[in-house]
Structure 1
Amino acid sequence: MTKPTPADETLAGHGRYAYSALPDRPVYDWPGGKRLAVYLALNLETFDFGSGLGAELAPGGPQPDVLNYAWRDWGNRVGAWRLRDLFDGLDLPASVLVNSRLYSDCPGLIEAFRARGDEIVGHGRTNAERQGSLDEAGERALIAEATAVLTREEGRAPAGWLGPWISQSKATPDLLAEAGYRYHLDWCHDDQPTWFSTRDGGHILSVPYPQELNDIPAIVARKDTGRDFADAIVDGFDEMLEQSRHAPLVMGIALHPYIVGQPHRLRPLRRALEHITRHRDAIWLTTAGAIAAHAAERLPLPSQWSRAAGA
């Protein structure tokens, strides 16, 4: 028998969704006959002092890495409040992605966004860890612990989840569905919500979350300036608004207070968001949870296909 060449071998797949070309899909509207849904994802995060993961302004030194820890902590003490004021001034809703330990680490912070009526989304316990590196029992416990805190503090269970560091194991969608979550934000594979199949015939919705219009990849990784990031938001919005004539689309903007809350980045961000609000009548300014709820009523549930080898 001839040994298969690499081109003949079957690649491992995830088995969560089937391929679907955007032009071939049914067209539907967002509320009010709109075709572009826009949401702000505000990441409110806490970090361990002297250990664990954390975004870096500059290459970290020996622990305790005071330079980077203090830079991130500034975001919760100052930057988040400036962003709250910005959102208030422009009458913008937000989906607030919350590490559950923030309720004890930064009392009053999450409550301030709750008072605005913002959506509170699960985002793990802290951003000093990745859930995808845990075994299934450990990951289940992380989800359960974070969910219990948010449910107790907010008076209701969160509908959505973003993993810390956008980290998933092969079982994460299954665990989230089993924990009662209706949508997750970890995958950036589409511009429309997508059903994921989960084990035992279940399902969970994936809502598009941005990796390009996200200040960590843009500013921390690619070293874009605040003006570069703001220009990308404006260009992305203008193009998606035009593209949405043909199909309903979702545009997310991911923000971290310790990055875009800095004054020299806040000013260009304000200009970009003002540009979006000038088109308020043409778009649906909303939350990720509202997008998920609207799409779930209109998208047919997935047929169960076989999980690919290695998924």
Structure 2
Amino acid sequence: MDSSKGHGRYSYSALPDRPTYDWPDGRRLAVYVALNLETFDFGSGLGAELAPGGPQPDVLNYAWRDWGNRVGAWRIKALLDELGLPASVLVNSRLYADCPGLIEAFRARGDEVVGHGRTNAERQGTLDEAGERALIAEATALLTEHEGKPPAGWLGPWISQSRLTPDLLAEAGYRYLLDWAHDDQPVWFATRDGGRILSVPYPQELNDIPAIVARKETGRQFADAISDAFDEMLEQSRHAPLVMGIAIHPYIVGQPHRLRPLRAALARIAAQRDAVWLTTAGAIAEHAAGAMADAKG
């Protein structure tokens, strides 16, 4: 194959052929909730749509998304509190100014804060190297200032990466990225100058934007998919350590008619907390980095 058509980040590896290892306490299935907290521009820029948008300012879709930060996120926080579930909170850095108190409420829970760009009104993968480096630096500086430490992980706004993104993230001090849905285990990515960064599985099937916005599934269908995936992955994890992520957005599943079935699905998972590792993406990255090295040894 022409190498110019590949990415050069990782080589092919069949899951059954890999060394095995355990998550903490001998568990084999790690489950994390990725809560996307995002902000958008009014009258311009990108944004998910509830209905086909009209001319700007697109009040219908802007207000629907804004409802997520004003109402939906707080209902999801209450649900996570009720079930005792941790979360990896994927944060647009402009939220500190746009929605004061929102990120602080999840910080108070002890949740992990993950870098997610400046705003979801833009993509980073369309920028040149200097522009992308500046975006990463700006978002990282704000998160570090507010949280008292730099974020360990990054998810690009709109899962957007350039061919240089893993290199730029590693050079900015990030230890893992979440953009790739190519595996059910963490995978090391090669970076330029002989470095590396860990890719932690992030879901595109168990993700409410592709499921509900794109495929037009109902909230109940989305919740059923979470429950079915959990049952199957728990069974499959007897043979290999696996990661199950659940990606949610407050303006979608925070809606009451979708929150009700989501509550049932997450409660079902929480009831099995003695059999699985309910955790964060950052904890998965930290544990996997050591466990994979030990398994190879």
Give the Cα–Cα distance (whole angstroms) in 2 for the partners of residues 266 and 48 of structure 1. 26
Give the Cα–Cα distance (whole angstroms) in 2 for the partners of residues 53 and 12 of structure 1. 29
- Whether 2:90 is the aligned partner of 1:117: answer no
Matches within 5 A, 1:171-182: 171-182=164-175
Matches within 5 A, 1:241-260: 241-260=234-253
In structure 1, the residue matched to 2:211 is 218
Equivalent position amino acid for 1:45 in 2: E
Q: Secondary structure at the match of 1:259?
A: helix
Q: Secondary structure at the match of 1:77?
A: helix
Q: Percent identity?
A: 83
The partner residue of 2:129 within 110, 123, 136 is 136
Equivalent position amino acid for 1:167 in 2: S
Give the Cα–Cα distance (whole angstroms) in 1 for the partners of residues 16 and 293 of structure 2. 17
CA shift at 1:9, angstroms? 5.9
Matches within 5 A, 1:158-177: 158-177=151-170
Q: Secondary structure at the match of 1:191?
A: coil
CA shift at 1:299, angstroms? 2.1
- Whether 2:289 is the aligned partner of 1:296: answer yes
Q: Deviations over 1:103-141 (max 9, x none)?
A: 000000000000000000000000000000000000000
Q: Secondary structure at the match of 1:297?
A: helix
Q: Deviations over 1:239-282 (max 9, x none)?
A: 00000000000000000000000000000000000110111100
Is contact 2:21–2:292 with CA below 8 Å preserved after alignment? no
Aligned length in residues: 294
Give the Cα–Cα distance (whole angstroms) in 1 for the partners of residues 293 and 77 of structure 2. 37
CA shift at 1:298, angstroms? 2.0
The partner residue of 1:55 within 30, 48, 58 is 48
Give the Cα–Cα distance (whole angstroms) in 2 for the partners of residues 11 and 265 of structure 1. 44
- Whether 2:79 is the aligned partner of 1:86: answer yes
Matches within 5 A, 1:230-269: 230-269=223-262
Larger-gyration structure (1/2): 1
Give the Cα–Cα distance (whole angstroms) in 1 for the partners of residues 129 and 98 of structure 2. 27
Is contact 2:22–2:291 with CA below 8 Å preserved after alignment? no
Q: Deviations over 1:127-173 (max 9, x none)?
A: 00000000000000000000000000000000000000000000000
Give the Cα–Cα distance (whole angstroms) in 1 for the partners of residues 40 and 270 of structure 2. 33
In structure 1, the residue matched to 2:64 is 71
Equivalent position amino acid for 1:289 in 2: G
Q: Deviations over 1:271-294 (max 9, x none)?
A: 000110111100000000000000
Q: Deviations over 1:203-224 (max 9, x none)?
A: 0000000000000000000000
CA shift at 1:10, angstroms? 6.0
Matches within 5 A, 1:184-203: 184-203=177-196
Give the Cα–Cα distance (whole angstroms) in 2 for the partners of residues 40 and 146 of structure 1. 22
Give the Cα–Cα distance (whole angstroms) in 1 for the partners of residues 38 and 212 of structure 2. 17
In structure 1, the residue matched to 2:90 is 97
CA shift at 1:11, angstroms? 6.5
Give the Cα–Cα distance (whole angstroms) in 1 for the partners of residues 39 and 212 of structure 2. 19
In structure 2, the residue matched to 1:154 is 147
TM-score (norm: length of structure 2): 0.98
Equivalent position amino acid for 1:190 in 2: D
Give the Cα–Cα distance (whole angstroms) in 1 for the partners of residues 191 and 205 of structure 2. 27
The partner residue of 2:202 within 184, 209, 216 is 209
Q: How large is the Cα RMSD of the aligned pairs?
A: 1.0
Tell me, which stretches of 5 or more residues in structure 2 are unaligned?
none
